[in-house]
A and B are shown apart, each in its own frame.
Chain A
Amino acid sequence: ERREGAKDEL
């Protein structure tokens, strides 16, 4: 999973 802080959350 690419990690970009809150942007990879729902």
Chain B
Amino acid sequence: MNIFRFAGDMSHVFSIIILLLRLHVAKNANGVSLKTQELFLIVFCTRYLDLLIRFISLYNSAMKILYIGSTAAIIHMIRYREPYRSTYDRSQDSFRLEFALIPCLVLAMITSLIRGFGFIELFWTFSIYLEAVAILPQLIVLQRYSVVENLTGHYIFFLGAYRGLYILNWIYRAYTEKHYHHDYVVYACGFVQTALYADFFYYYFQSKYYGGTFSLPT
């Protein structure tokens, strides 16, 4: 465990706390994408299947359970609990999940076939591909609302920071671990995912620097 990885994980936890706080404080689900949360839940459930077969560390297991549990709780709130259910605007969150799920599954099957992976690795690879695009529905919703609420903006910022820090973590590990296993699929997806946040970061920092409302160009 290095400082970049730990900071990345904490940034991820922090983003989830901010989203929960945002729902609680604003008492609505305006501008929050349920589709992104559902994609993240699928990502976590498929990636952490190894919870059932092997133990890495207490830290790893606890974080995995925390990610699955908190994301499931957010989905439950938006889907079934008031005032979130009635304020969630389904028509703005129109991303079709199958457009992300099917290509990722096909890619994961091809990758697994080439690498001779088993069942658990197939789902692990699927989750790597899916995580890269899981933020897309949320970015689309933001684009439609145009003006970005502070807390929603911070949520996406910390989620993006988590991915950026993971890239630094890989660089650090590549230099410091003698037999570090390079996984180029993971690297490629990590870069794609971070790149998706680049545009958001640009406007986020611009709004922080100049003050005033944070809005995205339409």
Q: Find the B residue at minimum CB distance from A3.
A: B177
- Chain B residues near A (Cβ < 8 Å): 1, 5, 9, 12, 50, 56-57, 59-60, 63-64, 67, 124, 128, 166, 169-170, 173, 177, 179-183, 186
Contacts of A10 in B (CB 8 A): 9, 12, 60, 63-64, 67
Q: Of the candidates A1, A2, A3, A6, which one forms a contact with B183 in the assembled complex, judged by CB atoms under 8 Å apart?
A: A6
Contact A1–B180 (Cβ < 8 Å): no
Given the known A-B contacts A1-B56, A1-B57, A2-B56, are A9 and B181 also in contact in the complex, defined by CB atoms under 8 Å?
Answer: no
Contact B64–A7 (Cβ < 8 Å): no
Interface size class of A (residues with CB under 8 A): 10 to 19
- B188 CB to closest chain A CB, in angstroms? 12
Contacts of A4 in B (CB 8 A): 181
Contact A5–B181 (Cβ < 8 Å): yes
Contacts of B182 in A (CB 8 A): 5
Contact A6–B56 (Cβ < 8 Å): no
Contacts of B179 in A (CB 8 A): 3
Contacts of B128 in A (CB 8 A): 6
16 contacts between A and B (CB under 8 A): A1-B1, A1-B57, A2-B56, A2-B57, A3-B177, A5-B181, A6-B170, A6-B183, A6-B186, A7-B124, A7-B183, A8-B60, A9-B5, A9-B166, A10-B12, A10-B67
Query: Bound complex: CA of A2 vs CA of B186, how far in Å?
Result: 19
- A10 CB to closest chain B CB, in angstroms? 6
- A9 CB to closest chain B CB, in angstroms? 7
Query: Bound complex: CA of A9 vs CA of B124, how far in Å?
Result: 12
Q: Find the A residue at minimum CB distance from B174.
A: A5
Query: Bound complex: CA of A10 vs CA of B11, how far in Å?
Result: 12
Query: Bound complex: CA of A7 vs CA of B186, how far in Å?
Result: 10
Q: Find the A residue at minimum CB distance from B57.
A: A1
Q: Find the A residue at minimum CB distance from B59.
A: A1
Q: Find the A residue at minimum CB distance from B190.
A: A6
Given the known A-B contacts A10-B9, A10-B12, are A5 and B180 also in contact in the complex, defined by CB atoms under 8 Å?
Answer: yes
Query: Bound complex: CA of A6 vs CA of B56, how far in Å?
Result: 12
